[in-house]
Amino acid sequence: MTNQLRGDDDMTLTAQAQAPGTAAETLARAEALAPVLRERAAEIEQHRKLPADVVELLRGTGVFRMCWGREWGGLELTSAEQTRVVEALAYGDASAAWCAVIGANTGIYSNFIDQATAKEMFPRTDMITAGLLQPSGRAERVPGGYRLTGRWPFGSGIDHADWVTSGGFVFEDGKPYASPDGSNPHESRQFMVPREQVELIDNWHTTGLCGSGSCDYTITDVFVPQEHTYSFGVVHGRPSPLAQPDAFTRAMCGVPLGVARAALDHAREIATSRIDRMTGVAWADSFRAQVTLAECEADFNAARAGVYTAMTRQWEVLEAGGTLDDLTPDERAASPLSWLHAFRTARAIVNRLYDLLQTWSINKSSPMDRWLRDTTTMCQHLIAQDRILQSAGAYLVGGQPEFGISLGIV
């Protein structure tokens, strides 16, 4: 995109506009930004992280405010509303949407931090948190807090983050620290560290999601005050459907759904105008094209409906003052299963459409090339792995889930 086009596009001013106040306004801004993201997708990919002005365009949509409570001045969108916003952004570019949903989780994390501390840490509701929650670091207990050291992979969006949250196992006097209540023989916590105290490792050279900047990072002997640590087992904020251990994973499935919708629309547009060069038959009259497109639409509709049905039911129970335990086992397991199904179905749809378009898919200039690589890469995330299936399956039969947090179990 030329500088002139960037300057002329209305979305360039979005970041400076008044912040949206409703879900509808946020979604409308995300939908308006999608063509700009599509236009700049190759640049984003080549950059291997989001350009600074793209981050500001995302900020202008309100996406980073959507998980904050109303009492903070946030949007407090429902899980379904958040996912629609993420879908809209992913329709433009998967890497931008991936970073958007990661950064939006700041408002969710704030529910698990002492509220007075959170207000000091986050003076604005459009601040960004990135990092890896899995306990890959080592935190030595010291007076007033911890000394944190470690290396973490997959810090999506970390380059433009304000805070970095990282999981770590706790030690005391060099020995594993057991939770005082005896619930855990080796306690792990989340540690919030200012971005400037984190060193990035430039190793994000990947098949897909190339523009997400999901590089490794290190933290070396950094003091983290006790109040800057948290656990998903203790809620400090107002009880709400977003103050839940699984809340940060819900809207991620909007990324594959948005990409799959983009690929379907792209293939359908081509099918309306293309003529088979060997047979002279219009693609619109081709049995192969008709069946492939119809099957992909059916799979997309079913996967998307599963996501929103599970989200809506979960939100109804939580908004009414219930807990995740008030869901039936089938209802509770439906959420993580629908997330996984959305990821895998999106990848399958893109694969089928890639084959349908044949050699028109293989050039770097084709968006199908990027969508194929992006969906392949995003399906390597934990949320699309068999551990989710095991956890849901174990829960349904009374077994032990390996990744209980996907079910809201800490």
Q: Any idea what DSSP says for residue 213?
A: -
Q: For the residues 204-231, what does the mean pLDDT come to? A: 98
Enclosing H/E stretch for 272:
none
User: Over the stretch 367-405, which tens digit does the pLDDT of each residue have?
Assistant: 999 999 999 999 999 999 999 999 999 999 999 999 999
Distance CA 87, CA 257 (A): 6
* Predicted pLDDT of residue 364: 86
Distance CA 302, CA 282 (A): 29
Q: Is the dihedral of CA 355, 357, 363, 366 positive or negative?
A: negative
CB 170 within 8 A of CB 141: yes
User: Over the stretch 303-361, which tens digit does the pLDDT of each residue have?
Assistant: 999 999 999 999 999 999 999 999 999 999 999 999 999 999 999 999 999 999 988 78
User: Over the stretch 63-110, which tens digit does the pLDDT of each residue have?
Assistant: 999 999 999 999 999 999 999 999 999 999 999 999 999 999 999 999
User: Over the stretch 7-33, which tens digit does the pLDDT of each residue have?
Assistant: 334 443 444 358 888 999 999 999 999
CA 78, distance to chain mean position in Å, is 15
* Predicted pLDDT of residue 11: 41
- Residue with more model confidence, 302 or 18: 302
* Predicted pLDDT of residue 6: 36
- Give the percent of the chain with pLDDT over 70: 96
> How many alpha carbons lie under 13 Å from residue 45 in its C-beta half-sphere?
21
What is the overall mean pLDDT for the chain? Answer: 94
Given a cut of 70, whether residue 184 has pLDDT beyond it is: yes
Distance CA 54, CA 152 (A): 25
* Predicted pLDDT of residue 18: 81
* Strand ranges, E, within 239-391: none
User: Over the stretch 94-151, which tens digit does the pLDDT of each residue have?
Assistant: 999 999 999 999 999 999 999 999 999 999 999 999 999 999 999 999 999 999 999 9
* Predicted pLDDT of residue 358: 87
The domains located in the chain, with CATH, are 3-112 (1.10.540.10), 129-230 (2.40.110.10), 247-407 (1.20.140.10)
* Predicted pLDDT of residue 182: 75
Encoded amino acid at 51, one letter: P
- Give the percent of the chain with pLDDT over 90: 88
Confidence of residue 362 (pLDDT cuts 50, 70, 90): confident
| Token representation of residue 152 | 């973490």
Q: For the residues 171-192, what does the mean pLDDT come to? A: 91
pTM of the model: 0.93
